[in-house]
Amino acid sequence: MSLLSNAYRNEIKKSKKSEYFEEARTPIGYSTGIDLLDYLNGKYIKVQNDKGYYSLGVDEGSYIMLIGKSGTSKTTVALQMAANIIKGYDEGMIYLDDIEGATDSNRIHSITGLSYEEIDEKVVHRQSGINCETLFENIETIYKQKIELAKSHPKEFLVHTGKKDFRGNEIVNFPPTVYILDSLALLMPESISEEEKLSGQMSTTAAAKQNAAVFRRIIPKLKKVNIILIAINHITTKIEINPMVHTKAAVNYLKPEESITGGNVPIYLANNIIKFEAGDKLKDSELFGINGFTVKLTLIKSRSNRAGQEGILVFDQVNGVDNQLSNLLFIKNNKILQGAGVGYYIPDMPDVKFRLSTFKEKFKSNKDFRIAFKKLIINEYRKFIPKKNEDDEVETEQSSSKANSKKEKKKKKN
Kindly state the average pLDDT of the residues 303-329: 96
The domain 59-323 is placed in CATH, from the list 2.40.340.10, 2.60.40.420, 3.40.50.300, 3.90.1150.10, at: 3.40.50.300
pLDDT at 390: 53
Confidence of residue 399 (pLDDT cuts 50, 70, 90): very low
Of 25 and 85, which is predicted with more confidence? 85
pLDDT at 25: 84
Q: What are phi and psi of 197, to 5 degrees?
A: -60, -35
Sequence spans of domains, the chain? 59-323, 335-383
Confidence of residue 305 (pLDDT cuts 50, 70, 90): very high
Distance (Å) of CA 132 to CA 71, 99, 272, 403: 25, 12, 21, 36
Residue 27 has pLDDT above 60, yes or no: yes
pLDDT at 249: 74
Reported as a single tens digit per residue, the pLDDT across 203-239 is 778 888 999 999 999 999 999 999 999 999 999 887 6
Distance (Å) of CA 384 to CA 44, 129, 299, 387: 11, 42, 12, 10
pLDDT at 201: 57
Residue type, 283: K
Residue 378 has pLDDT above 90, yes or no: yes
**Rounded-to-integer distance, Cα 103 and Cα 83, Å:** 15
Low-confidence winner among 6-10, 53-57, 227-231, 293-297 (lowest mean pLDDT): 6-10
Q: Provide DSSP, 228-287.
A: EEEEEEEEEE---SSTT--PPPSSTTS-TTEEESS-SHHHHH-SEEEEEEEEEEE-TTST
- Dihedral class, residue 226 (left if φ above 0, else alpha if ψ from -120 to 50, else beta): left
- DSSP one-letter code for 15: S
Asked whether 67 and 235 are in contact (CB, 8 A), the reply is: yes
Residue 198 has pLDDT above 80, yes or no: no
Q: Which of 12-21, 136-145, 205-214, 398-407 has the highest mean pLDDT?
A: 136-145
**Rounded-to-integer distance, Cα 394 and Cα 50, Å:** 9
Asked whether 214 and 135 are in contact (CB, 8 A), the reply is: yes
Question: Considering only CA atoms, which of 41, 113, 62 is closest in space to residue 322?
Answer: 113
Confidence of residue 400 (pLDDT cuts 50, 70, 90): very low
Distance (Å) of CA 196 to CA 28, 126, 186: 43, 24, 14
Q: List the beta strands (DSSP E) in 111-164.
A: 123-126, 159-164
The whole-model pTM stands at 0.91
**Rounded-to-integer distance, Cα 63 and Cα 86, Å:** 16
**Rounded-to-integer distance, Cα 226 and Cα 173, Å:** 8
pLDDT at 251: 86
**Rounded-to-integer distance, Cα 207 and Cα 131, Å:** 10
Reported as a single tens digit per residue, the pLDDT across 270-302 is 999 999 999 999 999 899 999 999 999 999 999
The fraction of the chain above a pLDDT of 90, given in percent, is 74
Distance (Å) of CA 23 to CA 16, 17, 73, 218: 16, 13, 38, 19
Q: What are phi and psi of 239, to 5 degrees?
A: -100, 115
Asked whether 401 and 84 are in contact (CB, 8 A), the reply is: yes
Alpha helix (H) ranges present in 284-399? 323-333, 359-365, 367-381
Low-confidence winner among 40-54, 137-151, 240-254, 304-318 (lowest mean pLDDT): 240-254
